[in-house]
Amino acid sequence: MSSGIGIELCRRVARYQADDLLKVMGYGAPTQKSRRRLKNVVENPDLGLGSGNFDFKYSDQAFLKALGVVLGLDQRALTEHMAAIIAEQDEEKKAFRPYVWVDTDFQRTSQPVFALAACESQRYLRFGRDFWRLPLHDQLLRARRRIRSHIRDTAGELGIWGAIQRYWFFHKEEQALLLSRDGRVIGERHGPVPSRSKLSPSVEEIIS
């Protein structure tokens, strides 16, 4: 998320040596970790917020506020911008992420559950970070393109799962559009993904 205050912060940081800024912020002997943290603020569109960094001196928000004080930034503008970033990140965390599930009409026979669980990710096509923000018709257009590309890349075969029969585009929780192998909409579905191979938590930990 970019804004005037974010651009101004980066412009002012560029005037100084990293260690000089960090020392004024209270890092008596700047380390590679603190330098990386400063670099992350400058290079990250979210100014390092939400990265989970903590060095027993500053949280993400406290680090950014301290840097803003050192740089002489308008504290009210910085605080408002930080609040906007955090609100957007919260919205992002709560948002449903549309995805495509690849349907092969799979029925387990002798395949080991361990192998199926290890290959489970092959049955899902994921999209970029901001895909969920697009209108449904734009999402569907991109999903159709992705499906056509996927069917070409796989030659219609999904390894242990078998031949691809159709695709489910889940645009909402438990609400999907059924698409053919060439990306045509041919139906709807209400409910969860038809089947999913699972392992016990202990085995999941081994293969993760």
As a whole number of angstroms, the distance between CA 208 and CA 203 comes to 9
Write out pLDDT tens, residues 38-63: 999 998 888 988 877 777 788 989 99
- According to the model, what pLDDT value does residue 125 have? 97
User: Is the Cβ–Cβ distance between 51 and 44 less than 8 Å?
Assistant: yes
Determine the Cα–Cα distance for residues 156 and 114; give it in Å rounded to an integer. Answer: 24
Mean pLDDT of the chain: 87
- Do the strands 175-179 and 124-125 form a parallel or antiparallel pair, or are they unpaired? unpaired
* Structure letter (DSSP) for residue 194: S
Residue 206, pLDDT score: 32
Mean pLDDT, range 117-138, rounded to an integer: 92
Q: Give the sign of the dihedral formed by CA 185, CA 189, CA 195, CA 200.
A: positive
66 pLDDT exceeds 90?
yes
Helix (H, G, I), strand (E, B) or coil at 19: helix
> Has residue 74 got a pLDDT over 70?
yes
Q: What are phi and psi of 18, to 5 degrees?
A: -55, -45
The model scores a pTM over 0.85: no
